[in-house]
Structure 1
Amino acid sequence: MLFLISFFQLVLLVQSLEPFVYDVNFAGAIGDGESDDTEAFKNAWYVVCSSYVSSGIFRVPHGQKFLLQPLTFNGECRSKNITFQIDGILIAPSDPSSWKCKDTNCNNWITFQHFDGLIIQGTGSLHGQGRKWWQMGCIQNKVGFAILDSKNVHISGLTSVDSDDCIEIGDGSKYININRIFCGPGRGISIGSLGKNGRKETVEYVTISRANFYTTENGVRIKTWQGGHGYARHIRFERLSFNRVTRPIIIDQYGCPPHQRCNNHSTAVEISNILYNDLRGTTNSEIAVEISCSESVPCKNIRMKDIQLNYGINGEIYYGHPKSHCSNVVQSWDEGNVYPNVPCLTN
């Protein structure tokens, strides 16, 4: 009898350790690429977030397309171990006039904020459908995934097409790991912008690895606003591939609103301890590496190792020698072969 009770308790324990899986179709998602599935995703998230489970899985199934308006997923949940399993296709509204948002994150399509422990993975893709935004010359296009005020976030295996930034890592983010991402067309992966309107904003301990960029405007970018405070530090870019990317590597501490002339400031978001390791591919512009740092708060401890960026299209290398631009960098160096040469780095 004692054995039977113990065995029954063990079965209950094993069952309780199984992750709670909730499919967006359970919440009424249609998945035909035309019906608006935003409310179904919100309802599915409410179920996962409010469940008394040790771990939860928010599942987007393979073989379906889900049209979504801007969404914010807030990580203040009962379960602290949540996985977004994205195997289907997420589609943004194709026309700027059909963009519906009353949220504070309206410049982002899908936002994840206030998480401590989050996995985003799968074989699915995000289609930002940003071409009409670009054709209209919109000043503020829409970011695909935005990570805000979160830590211990892992993103892997996804494809992002036709978004502004494929992924944007914003203020309050740390211990972020992104790998096996395909990005493009679009504007690459960005850290920032940080420090707008003089704010103190921070990002640290970020690793971006094994990502592929195709015809993006930027590859990997760190951007801060003039006059800001805070820091972007301990960031690693490793094993990245570029195909016809205009600016594969960018650090820009001179952020300024479009079509405005900004005065120089004596304060800036500090940028330090940045590693670029094993970055290869082609650029279609004259400047492949652009590092523009503040005179008053220069970038420091920038390290480049084994960089090979040629001028070419679709993997074919053509005659021409891409260049670099680099200013106000201290205590930094290069290792191995770095091409194009970045003169402000010392061996």
Structure 2
Amino acid sequence: MRDATRKACLVAGGAGFLGSHLCERLLDRGHEVVCLDNFFTGSKRNIEHLLHHPRFELMRHDVTFPLYVEVDEIFNLACPASPVHYQHDPVQTTKTSVHGAINMLGLAKRLRAKILQASTSEVYGDPQVHPQREDYWGHVNPIGHRACYDEGKRCAETLFFDYHRQHKLRIKVMRIFNTYGPRMHPNDGRVVSNFIVQALTGKDITLYGDGSQTRSFCYVDDLVEGALKLMDTDDLIIGPVNVGNPVESTIRELAERIVELTNSRSVIVYRPLPSDDPMQRCPDIARARAWLDWEPQVQLEQGLRSTIEYFDRLLGRPAT
């Protein structure tokens, strides 16, 4: 007989950067974990240390196809999250967000399971409100190069709320802002991993635009804690809830900090700004503070040091 406090949790996208950390935390809590991934951007390397865990199961599956398992909670993290990856096959990216949401919601409906959607700050587009609050509807180009991800995630949120209203499904919607940490993909094109890899390998550090655009960077451990706290709330709290770091940095400041922390000789060079790239991105986390008693704990320098150490090992360099 299974322990009544032990839950069976499905993590879609569980071999990815965020998903692998979430799988670890759920196992640490004593739960059973079914890790689902099609390995388009996820990697077995991220979860290989879990493969022999007695409460961990790995399934190779694409969420655009229906799934039949028995679980208590579902975390839907399945979707490429970096521009390099989601623009590689934009049609599949939209399918993953929309068909994936339909299939995960259908599973939750059949099981009467609680389900969390990993949404994104990209639903705000290039925002005209700063910082971004959850009641802001966004400023998104629906036909741009980023729309496959932005609009896919917006449609997924629509589906979650309609399943909640129509089928009384127990949903949680979390809007994730820029997150970084160990297990980021080295070639995903995201700014933290880009800069660290370039700095460690002595290549030019490429800034798009003049580097004055701002982002807020949340360490992965804090992000996962926010996801767990949201899933643990009662059924009256459904979201959306911003989960991210409200402290802004310019991209140029980030590049300079990484050069300093890696003792790199890399030179910062400037390239044209991609289309629809937002100039500002920073969360208002009042809801997370009030509803989840959550805010980030890891300072940027501390998180960058841990991430740099990870990439040192990944690239086969001795840690400094």
- Report the TM-score when normalising by structure 2: 0.27
Structure whose CA Rg is larger:
1
Greater per-residue helix proportion: 2
Question: Which structure dedicates a bigger proportion of its chain to strand?
Answer: 1
TM-score by length of 1: 0.25
Give the number of the structure with larger relative contact order, counting CA–CA contacts within 8 Å between residues 6 or more apart. 2
